[in-house]
Structure 1
Amino acid sequence: MNTFTRALTATLVSSLALTAVAAVGPPVAHAMDRSVIGGDAARTADHPWVVAVGSRQLFGSARSGQFCGAAVVSARTVVTAAHCFDRQILGADPDRVRDFRVIAGRDDLRGEQGREVAVSDIWVNPRYDRRTNAGDLAVLTLAKPLPGAAVPLAGAGDAAYGAGQSASVYGWGDTGGDGSYASSLHSSRVRVLKDRECATAYPGGAAAGRFRAETMVCAGLPEGGRDACQGDSGGPLVAGGKLIGLVSWGSGCGVAGQPGVYTRISALEKEITGRMRD
């Protein structure tokens, strides 16, 4: 299967760190830091519910330990992708990691602005299927609140899920599909696609994953060029001012006919609201 989740793995971070050490001269911001796959720079001041999930213990300090994105849905509740906490991604049992943090208000992960809030509890959807990525949701409870930063959830039947709706995806991940990881927040404007388009793109089988409309929604452009990528996992997909999805998986990044696949928030709304802590 040539599809993949979009988390930044500990192994890859180690490889990037070795490359950085070999570089000569002072660090220079890569030009691609100003854009995602077909996107633009964004500010957390404008989108305070966009946060990063980090662990310096596992991923180092160069980018605040970021390995996934997430969205604040209540003062002490953050949602992200379940696969972000797989041992395969972390390279360790998550129960043994003591420094998981949610990073808020930090546009540039190399800086110190904003806040880092400890994660006091991690709930991974027990119905998450690692083989298919169905139900790809984790809910994080924060040790301290982030007041005034929540994004509303789009429930079942919300117009925000309508085919053709303009949506934006946010993250700090790969900006070119080639390992050019951003240090500053970026966003890409895409469109919500019809379920049948997504099912055609991902019919299952040996060459592609299978799209499941009951727990997934997909977004992109028919011609490609705009998408989330590795390192963006768990980041928010927002349409009409509401959270409709979380970055989950896809085939390539920004490839025509291969849109990004997201966890459908409405399918797991009860699981999220039942764990909200304020």
Structure 2
Amino acid sequence: MRRPSVRGPARLSALIAAVIASPLVVAAPAAADSVVIGGYEVSAESSPWVVALSSRDRFGAARAGQFCGGVVVSPTTVMTAAHCLSPAVLGKDVRLVRDLRVVSGRADLEAEGGQEVAVRSSWIPPEYDPEANSPDMALLTLSQALPASRVLPVARAGDEAYTPGTEAVVYGWGDTTGAGGYASKLRAARVSVLPDENCATAYPGGADGRYTPATMLCAGDTAGGHDACQGDSGGPLVAGGRLIGLVSWGSGCGRPDGPGVYTRVSAVLPSVPGVLPGGGD
């Protein structure tokens, strides 16, 4: 059985030595036509709240140095996955990455336009457990405000958007095939919110990881072929016009027996330090 993979870049020692971003190689390629496995291209205008996390120093100039995704939750705040900011991904403490930025308003990372905004500070919940990858959420405070029109509302606990069977959309610039082909243009894929039992069965613990419904959300395509993949970590899962999840981890990409595991955003809001309505103080 394949080990679970967080959906950011891997092989960091080689990345840093070569200053080139390389994707995680999974055990078998998934049948797919585009990033966010089985997806389609989207514009910055239609999804203005999606941002790319960027460090050219750590990941090279190609694709603006993108290594993870994120979502604008207030004009000065981006939410992403905690594991994206770990030394395992960045190769050093996030506070030492001097060129950490978010790329906003630009769907094509090889093009001009949009904004590149420096990250002023980052915050990870003190209870984050990297071994369990839970709760896999972090906040980035930006050095300047983005337009309010780019903010995506966040679904709270009890929101019907979390109901199994709900159609959702996942966004990112990650691996397009499950075999190491990153995209330069933002793409999205339609998936469904799945019952917790689907992921509990797929990830009971051990080599394939353990699904924890209190902080995780299960979503995917029971027939396979639509999923997030490596490089999509931290990107948004959206349902009903609201943020319900963050790309976190899974086994392979686009597998019918390996649904995507997302951070359950409603579960992590109480720990957020006064940034969002309903967050902690």
Q: What is the TM-score with the length of structure 2 in the denominator?
A: 0.89
Paired residue for 2:51?
A: 51
Offset at residue 13 of structure 1 (A): 4.5
Change (3 A) 1:49 1:18: closer
The answer as to 2:72 corresponding to 1:72 is yes
Indicate if the aligned counterparts of 1:33 and 1:182 stay in contact, CA closer than 8 A.
Answer: no
Maintained 8 Å contact 2:234/2:248: yes
Alignment check: 8 A CA contact 2:163 2:193 kept: yes
**Identical aligned residues as a percent:** 54
Structure 2 CA distance, aligned partners of 1:119 and 1:33? Answer: 33
Shift in Å at residue 270 of structure 1? 2.5
Structure 1 alignment gaps of length 5 or more:
20-31
Q: Name the aligned partner's letter for residue 113 of structure 1.
A: G
Rounded to whole Å, the distance in 2 between the matches of 1:35 and 1:204 is 28
Contact 2:205 2:211 in 1 (8 A): yes
Output the amino acid matched with 2:230: Q
Which amino acid is the alignment partner of residue 203 of structure 1? P
Is the 2:208–2:251 contact (alpha carbons within 8 Å) kept by the matching residues of 1? yes
Instruction: Give the aligned partner of residue 163 of structure 1.
Output: 164
Structure 1 residues 90-169: aligned runs within 5 Å: 90-147=90-147, 148-169=149-170
Match of 2:189 in 1: 188
Q: Aligned-pair distance for 1:275?
A: 2.6
How far does the alpha carbon of each residue in 1:217-275 deviate from its partner, in whole angstroms, 9 at most, with x for none? 01001111100000000000000110000000000000111100000000011233623
What are the equivalent positions in structure 2 for 1:1-278 lying under 5 Å apart? 2-9=3-10, 10-11=12-13, 13=15, 17=20, 35-147=35-147, 148-205=149-206, 207-272=207-272, 274-276=274-276
TM-score (norm 1): 0.90
Provide the aligned C-alpha RMSD in A: 2.0
Structure 2 SS opposite 1:8: coil
Per-residue CA shift, 1:86-136, capped at 9, x if unaligned?
111111222211111010011111112100001001001211111111100
Question: 5+ residue gaps in structure 2?
Answer: 23-31
CA distance in 2: counterparts of 1:268 and 1:44, whole angstroms = 27
TM-fit CA distance, 1:17: 4.3
